[in-house]
Amino acid sequence: MAIDPAGSIAGEPLMVDTHCPYCALQCAMTLTRDADGEISVAGRDFPTNRGGLCRKGWTSPELLHRNDRLTRPLLRDAAGIPRPVSWDRAYQVIVDNICRTQQRYGNDAVAVFGGGGLTNEKAYLLGKFARVALRTAMVDYNGRFCMSSAAAAANRAFGVDRGLPFPVSDLDDANTIMLLGSNVADTMPPFTQHLTGAQRAGGLIVVDPRVSATARLTAGGSGVHLQPAPGTDLELLLGITHVVLTEGLINNDYLDRRANGLAGLRRSVADLWPERVQSITGVPAATIREIARRLAWAADNGGCYLLTGRGVEQHVNGTDTATAAINLALLLGLPGSPDSGYGTLTGQGNGQGGREHGQKSDQLPGYRKITDPAARRHVAAVWGIDPDRLPGPGLPAVQLLDRLGRPDGVRMLMVHGSNLVISAPDSTALERRLDDLDFLVVSDFFLSETARHADLILPVLQWAEEDGTMTTLEGRVVRRRAVSPPPGEAKSELEILHDLSRRLGAPSPFPTRPSEVFDELARASAGGVADYSGIDYPLLDSGATAHWPYVDAGTPRLFGERFGTADGRAELVPVRPTEPVDPVATGTGLTLITGRLLEHYQSGAQTRRVDTLNASAPRALVQIHPTTAAGLGIGDGDEVLVDSARGRARCWAELTTGIRPDTVFLPFHYPDRSTANRLTPAVADPTSGMPEFKTARVTVFRVAAIGAL
């Protein structure tokens, strides 16, 4: 039933079951609001977290009582100072700027940028708003920075993109799990309980250039840590595949029944024998053979899973690298098997659902292609408009952002649920383009680094102030429930989009009640790949398990009988190594890896405001090997500058033998001069649009040595 978040004001405590505001594990929790309005949190039993929470989850209520919340619309005056204005004034300014911009430059001069943390309802309505109210093709979201390469690879191999096509708990009984490019011990700590079976069997295989917290789980005979050179995961996977093929370790019966393209794949890896791959990756040839044999053995003896994360995807060849992992899994017969599988670990809280219902530039609700005439007719019918009114595909995030402020590009931008100044590549150049816009609107609940550039800032609701749904990394739709009333004049994006669409004369209604928006989403998704048509709020409130596709029942496990392709068979897609974006590091040059910390999440706009989290990791530390640091005259704790062809970041040295001597690691959560994405190039995978975040060539200098501040 619907929860009234004001229920505790009358003196009665209010308890609601909901889910964590952070990662796609969506750990279950219970929030209690007492008579004084204070909110406490307790872990709740759920298959992904089994009652546990990480420190971000335990401290999440602290965000609800911050005194720096945005509570009124803020409009910059002639002097550039943000001043409070009424909602009517804010709406009128937005509508005036939309009309002025589109009349002068065309519909696509107004763009919308969304986020993978928005609820399904908000993501859906945002995509509808762009295409129906604005009639612009220019809509995309920050999920392009997280997961898009794995999605592209899964779509072309399986015909379906669902991060984990099986429940997380299926991992519990596996004797071998290979994790490539994912530091789950820091990014989603409760996930590690699902690795303990593989650890006990000595079969946890972690691929990471760093000795990360996850890599340390392989110690004591629990598994193997492979430490390839950054950007060589593709070659490593191709080398393992070569061994599986040449030693006859493939599952011939499975391939005969369920996959196409074996001959072409065999030819494509013929020249990537282990010794050659060793010379590229640094991983010993004997280890490559050992891993191939272990995976093949495990596939025949009680459970083998291959899991990928951002470390192998955030490259210009990320789609090909994820494809190589899928090819290896198919050769071993893992996808769709009852005790084995392949999957990818979605990062953002609603990274899965956020890309299914219309935020992506090339998609309509239900994971439909916007270029498909039948998909356009179906969605247009739900919206009550002519299909010809719908725009065509727009541009993926990096290309869209490159058009900001250009005379023939995007002149006005509306941002929802994304802190681009921290999360986008080549962020210094992006800041200049934001300032070149004619008008920038940012909806947020704190004054984020991106909101600082906005002409108009709209205050919106946080996770515990709204109802809605999220879709976990395993394709399970879960309920988010409100426990706290909105602060001040803050509004839900659903209400904002409704009010704006009405003022713009949109020919389709925009509901404001989350349950009504979800019902419309379900109708729009019906018959699509991500079919939610059998789900509604009463079903979710009953505690039912709802993995999509869900028509008459859910689908916890995909691919048991067939894949989502036209013939029901998976496609083995040959891929080849590519040249790096930056020149190979020489002399004092180093390779930069960016990533996350245990204490912080994404751009840090939330976690840097939680005192206990920020106290644990208050500033940006660049990890550097002691031998490398000694050669550069850098000591532990020294202030340093990290330079690339794009820009410069200021941070502090953390010496550790847990990183390769040719590599440095910098977390991307920090603002201003410590922003890691000042250093990364704004180039992207041609298939997925995923930026290259993991192989920027940099030099590191001790500040005192060069007299810089």
pLDDT digits (tens, 9 = 90+) for 215-246: 999 999 999 999 999 999 999 999 999 999 99
Torsion angle defined by CA atoms of residues 567, 369, 319 and 332, in that order, rounded to the nearest 10 degrees: -20
pLDDT tens figures, 104-139: 999 999 999 999 999 999 999 999 999 999 999 999
CA 4 → CA 14, 37, 485, 486, distances in Å? 9, 14, 9, 12
Structure tokens at 583: 């020149």
pLDDT tens figures, 36-59: 899 999 999 999 999 999 999 999
* 503 φ, ψ (degrees, to nearest 5): -70, -25
> What's the pLDDT score for residue 52?
95
In terms of Cβ atoms closer than 10 Å to its own Cβ (0-12, 13-18, 19+), residue 611 is exposed
CA distance 200 to 173: 10
Torsion angle defined by CA atoms of residues 181, 339, 284 and 691, in that order, rounded to the nearest 10 degrees: -20
What is the full DSSP assignment across 71-105? -S-EEE-TTS-EEE--HHHHHHHHHHHHHHHHHHH
What DSSP designation does 259 have?
E
Q: Considering only CA atoms, which of 107, 91, 114, 124 is closest in space to residue 383?
A: 124
CB 193 within 8 A of CB 322: no
Structure tokens at 198: 């593989």
Give the pLDDT mean for 538-550: 95
How much of the chain, in percent, has pLDDT values that exceed 90?
94
CA distance 556 to 429: 43
CA distance 533 to 290: 46
Query: To which residue do tokens 């889910």 refer?
Result: 19
8 — pLDDT class (breaks 50, 70, 90): very low
Side chain identity at residue 270, one-letter code: A
Distance spanning both ends of the chain, measured CA to CA: 57
Mean pLDDT of all residues belonging to the chain = 94
Residue 461 makes CB contacts below 8 A (sequence gap 6+) with 445, 486, 490, 491, 492, 493
Rg (CA), the chain: 25
In the chain the domains, ranked by start, together with CATH numbers, are 7-65 (2.20.25.90), 74-146+350-467+488-531 (3.40.50.740), 164-345 (3.40.228.10), 590-706 (2.40.40.20)
CA distance 219 to 163: 28
CA distance 159 to 571: 9
CB 512 within 8 A of CB 121: no
* 459 φ, ψ (degrees, to nearest 5): -80, 125
How much of the chain, in percent, has pLDDT values that exceed 70?
96
Residue 373 makes CB contacts below 8 A (sequence gap 6+) with 387
- Three-state DSSP at 693 gives coil
CA distance 415 to 360: 14
> What's the pLDDT score for residue 147?
84
pLDDT tens figures, 443-490: 999 999 999 999 999 999 999 999 999 999 999 999 999 999 999 999
Give the pLDDT mean for 352-370: 95
> What's the pLDDT score for residue 705?
67
Phi-psi region of 689 (alpha: psi -120 to 50; beta: other; left: phi over 0): left
Structure tokens at 352: 């899965």
Q: Across the chain, which distance is largest between two alpha carbons, in Å?
A: 73
> What's the pLDDT score for residue 582?
58
* 358 φ, ψ (degrees, to nearest 5): 125, 0
Give the pLDDT mean for 386-406: 97
In terms of Cβ atoms closer than 10 Å to its own Cβ (0-12, 13-18, 19+), residue 460 is buried
11 pLDDT above the threshold of 60: no
In terms of Cβ atoms closer than 10 Å to its own Cβ (0-12, 13-18, 19+), residue 286 is exposed
> What's the pLDDT score for residue 707?
56
- Three-state DSSP at 509 gives coil
DSSP alpha helix (H) spans, 315-394 = 318-331, 351-354, 373-383
pLDDT tens figures, 129-170: 999 999 999 999 999 998 899 999 999 999 999 999 999 999
Q: What angle do CA 466, 165, 561 make, to 5 degrees?
A: 135
Structure tokens at 29: 């929790």
CA 231 to chain centre: 19
709 pLDDT above the threshold of 60: no
What angle separates helix 233-246 from helix 318-331, to the nearest 10 degrees?
20
> What's the pLDDT score for residue 501?
98
- Three-state DSSP at 213 gives coil
CA distance 14 to 36: 11
Beta strands in 347-455 (DSSP E): 363-364, 368-369, 412-416, 439-444
pLDDT tens figures, 636-648: 999 999 999 999 9
- For the chain, give the number of residues: 709
C-alpha atoms less than 13 angstroms from C-alpha of 635 in its C-beta half-sphere:
3
65 — pLDDT class (breaks 50, 70, 90): confident
Query: Which residues, in sequence order, are bridge partners of residue 77?
Result: none
CA distance 456 to 441: 5
652 — pLDDT class (breaks 50, 70, 90): very high
CA distance 86 to 95: 14
